Structure 1
Amino acid sequence: MTNEITEKLKQAANGLLMMSESEYPFAVFLWSKQAQEPLTNQKLLQLTGHPQDKSVEEVELDYLFRNCAVEKEWHDEIQKQNVQKFQSLVKTLKDNLMDIRVYRIGMINIDVYILGKTPSGDLAGVSTKVVET
């Protein structure tokens, strides 16, 4: 079941780049049996291999994709196609994961983790980077 979810996420994220001052692809991750207890910032930093003193900020999923998943009048065809791909990624996340949370770790070079619970008690989602100076 969880393998199906990560496969769907891979397909939805394939070829997409997160837009910021740099563009980064999305990677799918799965943390087995990690959804049984609440996810603390400390546990998140441990799971992602970050030092415990890194800053962690939680944002809304729609806020994260506010510039990518909303079509604007001035978009060209390629940008419109990308908007549809981002909308598809958001839908895939919402259709397959419960209790979705978005975490930004660090400053300037920010690691972003979009994660939720699977029916089998795992944490799964996609990660990317954004650069904000």
Structure 2
Amino acid sequence: MEREELENELTKAADGLWMMSETDAPFEFYYADSSAGEMPVAAWASQEGSNKVEVEELDYFFRNMLKAQPNAAITQQEEVNQFGAMVTKLKSLLQDVKVYRIGEVSVTAYIVGRAENGDIAGYKTLLVET
């Protein structure tokens, strides 16, 4: 799948969704060519100005967004369904999707995996955790 098609699919899957934390942030499409080799975690950490890096499984990262509260309103259930569809789309389009959390209070999350051509793709978002 070409970059443009991948970007369209992932952008559409995240449309209207926000990363919920102490601030709400959008999911931005992220792409890096395969010349990076391994995941460029050191470059991300340097760019974000932090040495703290955590790696999480995709389902664990989205655990709170993939379940509705008892007696949830229809809009909350629709949002849970959309998050589920986004996670499914990531898994179907990318291999070995992981979440790389960089920082401590202001955390930049790279939700990425490998595209068919070996390039790195997914999302970048922000969490605030105090």
TM-score (structure 2 length as normaliser): 0.90
Identity %: 36
CA RMSD across the alignment: 1.6
Q: How far 1:33 sits from its partner (Å)?
A: 2.0
Pairs within 5 Å for 1:1-133: 1=1, 2-34=3-35, 37-39=37-39, 41-45=41-45, 49-51=47-49, 53-133=50-130
The C-alpha deviation readout for 1:79-126, integer Å capped at 9, x for no partner, is: 111101100110110000001110110011111110000111210001
Quick one: which amino acid aligns to residue 21 of structure 1? E
Structure 2: gaps spanning 5 or more residues? none
Counterpart Cα distance in 1 of 2:23 and 2:90: 23
Structure 1: gaps spanning 5 or more residues? none
SS of aligned partner of 2:34:
coil
SS of aligned partner of 2:7:
helix
TM-score (structure 1 length as normaliser): 0.88
Quick one: which amino acid aligns to residue 30 of structure 1? Y
Check whether the contact 1:34–1:123 (CA below 8 A) recurs between aligned residues.
no
Q: How far 1:40 sits from its partner (Å)?
A: 5.4
